[in-house]
Amino acid sequence: MLKNKENRNLRVLIYVVCVILAIISIAPFYIMFINSTRSTTEIQQHAIAFLPSGYMLNNLKILLGKSFNPAVGFGNSFIISIGSTALAVYFSSLTAYALVAYDWKLRQPFFSFIMCVMMIPAQVTTIGFYQMVYKIGMTNHLSMLILPAVASPTMVFFMRQYLQPTLSMEIVQSARIDGAKEFMIFNRIVLPIMKPAIATQAIFSFVSSWNNLFTPLVLLTDQKKYTMPIMVSLLRGDIYKTEYGCVYLGLAMTVLPLVVVYLILSKYIIAGVALGGVKG
């Protein structure tokens, strides 16, 4: 009886904390969406409102009349994120498979090496990277932001941790007996086994690539090549200084697609993460 009461109290506490956290998570975005429909004068009078107003199109006109171009930002961000995620996921799986399935001499040193370079953040190499890319005249090429994803040590580490207990060598052996080539075995048998891990890693990779500001900011100087985060940083500039509604609308335009896609995929995201954990 006492235990039940304790249980109920704990449950109430858990729900209260969770609801508060949920409100804190949503509130800033709610304010943003509402304010994106209000005029600058309305916002100046009262910066918080619960109901939207009707100035969205007006705000949009002012917003697009200046340097902010969401379509270009989205296009470029999309190309970079899709490209780098595909490369990172595929080649990290391949490298992880090499580390798990084959007994080669340099396997352990190579893995230790990956563990070490995992620590190297992209940012500390940026000066050298920028100079290198500048020298070969590729500063405004999106490929320079995509190709480095082939070597993603963190993801290799994660994939290996997943594959190590999951992969049964018997399957690989029987495929060999059936005459499958090693590369085929990887593509046809191992990749499907890794699907849950790939889904999780792909989501994280896509998100971090989409949201990356530092490297694109350094490499891209041409306005036509700007990614979404660079576009967003324009909203902080002086040209939008007094246009409050406009700034909120610009921010909302970058958030809305992300939220929609996220809510559609959220089940898969959470389930994918959970699945990845069960197996690993």
**Interface of this chain with other proteins, residues 221 to 240, rule: CB under 8 A:** 228-230, 232-233, 235-236
In whole angstroms, how close is the CB of 264 to other proteins at the nearest point?
A: 11
The only residue of 163, 199, 247, 249 in contact with other proteins, by rule CB under 8 A = 247
The only residue of 54, 168, 195, 262 in contact with other proteins, by rule CB under 8 A = 262
* Structural tokens at position 37: 């429909």
Tell me if 148 contacts other proteins by CB under 8 A: yes
In whole angstroms, how close is the CB of 167 to other proteins at the nearest point?
A: 14
The only residue of 213, 223, 242, 260 in contact with other proteins, by rule CB under 8 A = 213
The only residue of 159, 163, 167, 186 in contact with other proteins, by rule CB under 8 A = 186
Tell me if 71 contacts other proteins by CB under 8 A: no
In whole angstroms, how close is the CB of 57 to other proteins at the nearest point?
A: 20
In the chain, the amino acid numbered 201 is Q
For other proteins, the closer of residues 25 and 192 by Cβ is: 25
DSSP the chain: -HHHHHHHHHHHHHHHHHHHHHHHHHHHHHHHHHHTTS-HHHHHH-S--SS--S-HHHHHHHHHTTT--HHHHHHHHHHHHHHHHHHHHHHHHHHHHHHHH---TTHHHHHHHHHHHTT--GGGGHHHHHHHHHHTT-TT-THHHHGGGG--HHHHHHHHHHHHHH--HHHHHHHHHTT--HHHHIIIIIHHHTHHHHHHHHHHHHHHHHH--HHHHHH--SGGG--HHHHHHHTTSGGGTT-HHHHHHHHHHHHHHHHHHHHHHHHHHHHHHHHHHHH-
Tell me if 103 contacts other proteins by CB under 8 A: yes
Which residues are within 8 A (CB) of 75 and not within 5 positions of it... i.e. 6 or more apart?
none
Tell me if 154 contacts other proteins by CB under 8 A: yes
The only residue of 60, 70, 182, 202 in contact with other proteins, by rule CB under 8 A = 182
C-beta neighbour count of 140 within 10 angstroms: 13
For other proteins, the closer of residues 32 and 64 by Cβ is: 32
In whole angstroms, how close is the CB of 210 to other proteins at the nearest point?
A: 7
Tell me if 260 contacts other proteins by CB under 8 A: no
Cα separations (Å) of 200 from 31, 85, 208, 266? 30, 11, 13, 11
Tell me if 210 contacts other proteins by CB under 8 A: yes
Tell me if 195 contacts other proteins by CB under 8 A: no
Q: Which stretch binds other proteins (CB under 8 A): 53-61, 64-72, 78-86, 154-162?
A: 154-162
**Interface of this chain with other proteins, residues 162 to 181, rule: CB under 8 A:** none
The only residue of 153, 189, 191, 239 in contact with other proteins, by rule CB under 8 A = 153
Tell me if 67 contacts other proteins by CB under 8 A: no
Question: How many residues belong to the site for other proteins (CB under 8 A)?
Answer: 103
Q: Which stretch binds other proteins (CB under 8 A): 54-62, 63-71, 78-86, 115-123?
A: 115-123
